[in-house]
Amino acid sequence: MSTTTRMSSVERRAAIIDTAMRLFGERGFRGVTTRELAAAVGVSEPVLYQHFPSKRDLYTAIIETVMGSEVEMRLPVVLNEPSYDVRQVFHTLAKLAFEWHVVNANYVRLIFFAALEKHELAELAYQRHEVSFCGQLRQYVQGQIAAGHLRQANADAIMFGFLGIVSDAAKKSIFFPNACPQGNPDLSEMIDLYLDGIVVQRQ
């Protein structure tokens, strides 16, 4: 007697999204057919289309799933934490951003494929993630410059310099986990070295 438990509609939808991220992240969009995706989930193509009538619906659902994750929601909260000074904000953001990359490793691979293949998901992801979060981070940096906590400098240079350090460290851990034979450099130390160059030192 079979003991196989049928997935609920919500569980099946989540399984499709998770499997799509994994397969697209491994083989790119051109390397995965809807038939293969349906088979990997254990459903038929008609069932797949019941949940996602178009590929764009699936791409949007993938992005919204990542945006709804706990770590994604915590990122902007840090910028408005009144008990944090500027160094604490940058250090906390660095840890969360690194965690975001690790937790969403399949999604990170997927976005790289999308960018390289000039796929529509790349632009969707850019608008949903980069424009929104970078706008908030830029505003925070500008406020800290105006308050005299950060050096008088281009806010985007400060912002992208910080994000570059974090995202590069995170992506190395995803794509090249054995790149540093002596162990990966400590992220906190890298952020401290960066902050020493932009934080105004009080006499």
pLDDT digits (tens, 9 = 90+) for 78-108: 998 999 999 999 999 999 989 888 888 888 8
Number of domains observed in the structure of the chain = 2
Write the CB contacts of 94 (distance below 8 Å, at least 6 apart in sequence): 162, 165, 166, 187, 188, 191
Domain shared by 103 and 141, yes or no: yes
- Can you give the pLDDT at residue 103? 86
Half-sphere exposure of 104 (CA within 13 A, CB side): 24
Domain shared by 97 and 194, yes or no: yes
Domain shared by 129 and 82, yes or no: yes
**pTM score:** 0.81
**Coil/strand/helix, residue 190:** helix
The region that residue 118 occupies, defined by phi over 0 for left and psi between -120 and 50 for alpha, beta otherwise, is: left
61 assigned to some structural domain: no
- Can you give the pLDDT at residue 185? 67
Domain shared by 47 and 73, yes or no: no
Q: How far apart are CA 96 and CA 71, in angstroms?
A: 7
Domain shared by 103 and 190, yes or no: yes
List, for the chain, all residue ranges whose pLDDT scores fall below the cut of 70: 1-5, 179-185, 202-203
- Can you give the pLDDT at residue 161? 94
CB 142 within 8 A of CB 149: no
Domain shared by 13 and 73, yes or no: no
Range of the domain at 137: 67-198
Domain shared by 75 and 113, yes or no: yes
- Can you give the pLDDT at residue 1? 40
Q: How far apart are CA 25 and CA 46, in angstroms?
A: 23
